[in-house]
Structure 1
């Protein structure tokens, strides 16, 4: 079983609803959801292209999945995450857009957001003590030969190559897509997501996500509000 610290909008947010429909699974309940009807894109094709992100659920990773160290407990992780989030201030990410990252599609900020970059770096450092050391198999799965020097150093120091200066916030919505299919998939993604991406995205909670068994799907274990209770604005 692994844990991850992520951002995902609240369960009632329209973006969460649209993402759950597209991916075919609700990251809060774990329930499967029937995909939308899209002209020119069959249900089975949607299921194929969303297989990878469906397992992880709709999220933007802040601290990548990790096994819990034998020296700590889940209750300690929950307590410290709650306390940590109480020291943070909510903020907004500039509008998200459908963006291609290599062969994958994600929702990414239209311009860099220093606040989400700082949040991820702070969480990676603050909660590294909860992470069990990587095994040799874990390191090999990260394809160390294909990493840059900075990414290789991050892998061995923080358990993930893509942290600190190598971090780029994104919320995956497909697995790898063949070049010939990209125009159709991108058009479908824009038709689905653009209507709910017209406003900035408010980051006011941090999600602790949990893997349901080895290799199982992830779901939201708990949402941790940012800011002191007395200062929180009720939506």
Structure 2
């Protein structure tokens, strides 16, 4: 399989949370296959944006391979990175509104999780091709702070380092008036959320020719 971009995600292990995410979004990034959406009116439309990525939490945002780099080298580097990283634990997950989209976010001590994400961004950055002018302009349309713009230039994405907030996306942008109702709907479908919430593996994912992401390989954190 040839991939246009790569990313490092947290993808929940097999279980109720992973099953919920796949059937809520309609795409199973582990199997690389569509799933039957839950029977919820309007669900197809509000999940169109996150569907292509599958149910995940971003650790290193999607990037194109730099010149002279290849997938085999990236996989080897991800393995080395995982051997150096410790598993991280937060108190749990909860449903929150981040602006006008809904996601599961962790709560409790965050320092170790932020460190994990930073190492993924920094250590694998030699494999990232620089952002194009078009990519920079597209990101800037959302309105970035000076610091976010600096992060965009340095790392190809504005929401890394101290701007990072881990989340597992469940919707695209919603009309503000619809957010409370969708919160209630999601709560009625959620499985028991993990308490504590532990990340003990990372996943190298690739963007296929059809624009959808799938897991290439998981790596257990053994540092």
Task: Provide the TM-score with structure 2 as the length reference.
Answer: 0.94
- SS of 2:30 mapped into structure 1: coil
Distance 1:145 1:8, change over 3 A: closer
Choose which of 184, 197, 201 in structure 2 pairs with 1:201: 197
Number of residue pairs matched by the alignment: 220
Note if 1:149 corresponds to 2:149: no
Note if 1:212 corresponds to 2:203: no
Shift of 1:164: 0.6
Whether contact under 8 Å (2:97, 2:179) holds in the other structure is no
Q: What is the alpha-carbon root mean square deviation over aligned residues?
A: 1.5
Whether contact under 8 Å (1:144, 1:152) holds in the other structure is no
- SS of 1:56 mapped into structure 2: coil
Greater mean alpha carbon deviation, residues 216-225 or residues 180-189: 180-189
Matches within 5 A, 1:1-150: 1-10=4-13, 12-37=14-39, 41-42=40-41, 45-143=42-140, 146-150=143-147
Whether contact under 8 Å (2:101, 2:179) holds in the other structure is no
Whether contact under 8 Å (2:90, 2:107) holds in the other structure is no
Distance 1:21 1:196 in 2: 16
Distance 1:28 1:145 in 2: 30
Distance 1:204 1:71 in 2: 31
Distance 1:145 1:186 in 2: 24
- SS of 2:34 mapped into structure 1: coil
Whether contact under 8 Å (1:104, 1:176) holds in the other structure is yes
Runs ≥4 residues deviating over 2 A? none
Shift of 1:110: 2.5
Q: Could you say which residue in structure 2 is the equivalent of 1:180?
A: 177
Shift of 1:183: 2.2
Distance 2:200 2:194 in 1: 18
Whether contact under 8 Å (2:140, 2:149) holds in the other structure is no
- Structure 1 residue runs of 5 or longer lacking an equivalent are 229-235
- Structure 2 residue runs of 5 or longer lacking an equivalent are none
- SS of 2:75 mapped into structure 1: helix
Distance 1:207 1:174 in 2: 22
Task: Provide the TM-score with structure 1 as the length reference.
Answer: 0.89
Shift of 1:179: 2.0
Shift of 1:7: 0.7
Distance 1:183 1:151 in 2: 29
